[in-house]
Amino acid sequence: MGEQVVGFVFGDRRGRQEVGWVASIGVHPDMRRRGIGHLLLEACEEEVGVPRIRLALRPSNLVAKQLYLKTGYVEVDHWDRYYANGEDALIMEKAREKDKRWNREMREF
């Protein structure tokens, strides 16, 4: 791809919490379905460097939800009227490799 930007991700750790957040992620429409989103998520998870990482998404964003499920995120919460237009948010979380047992327990819950 040379120097062309095809995607981005922003994530952070909130204070002293052991949970990080993926604040925003995007891949250029022409570059989707090539594993770029997966690579961006992995890079963000590694850079934030905490045992668990969360994200919020619109329940209507089925494409993003499939990516997150495929990369190990599980649904952990639902926030009513989170977005400015009144749409709810689905909260998903992933335990990093050393904390995988937590992810299995959440799936069974």
Please state the domain count of the chain. 1
Cα distances from 5 to residues 8, 12, 32, 36, 107, in angstroms, run 8, 21, 13, 11, 35
pLDDT band at 71 (very low <50, low <70, confident <90, very high): very high
Question: Do residues 13 and 48 make contact, with C-beta atoms less than 8 angstroms apart?
Answer: yes
- Asked if residue 44 belongs to a domain, the reply is yes
What mean pLDDT do residues 58-63 have? 95
| Tens digit of each residue's pLDDT (9 = 90 or more) over 78-96 | 999 999 999 999 999 999 8
Structural contact between residues 23 and 11, judged by C-beta atoms closer than 8 angstroms = yes
Please report whether residue 76 resides in a domain: yes
Q: Is the pLDDT of residue 97 over 80?
A: no
Average pLDDT value for the chain: 88
Q: Could you tell me the pLDDT band of residue 101, with boundaries at 50, 70 and 90?
A: low
Task: Classify residue 2: in a domain, yes or no.
Answer: no
Would you say residue 1 lies in a domain? no
Q: What is the pLDDT of residue 3?
A: 86
Which residue is listed with tokens 């750790």? 13
Q: What is the CATH number of the domain that holds 82?
A: 3.40.630.30
Q: Which residue range forms the structural domain that includes residue 59?
A: 7-108
Tell me the H-state helices in 1-109.
36-48, 62-70, 100-108
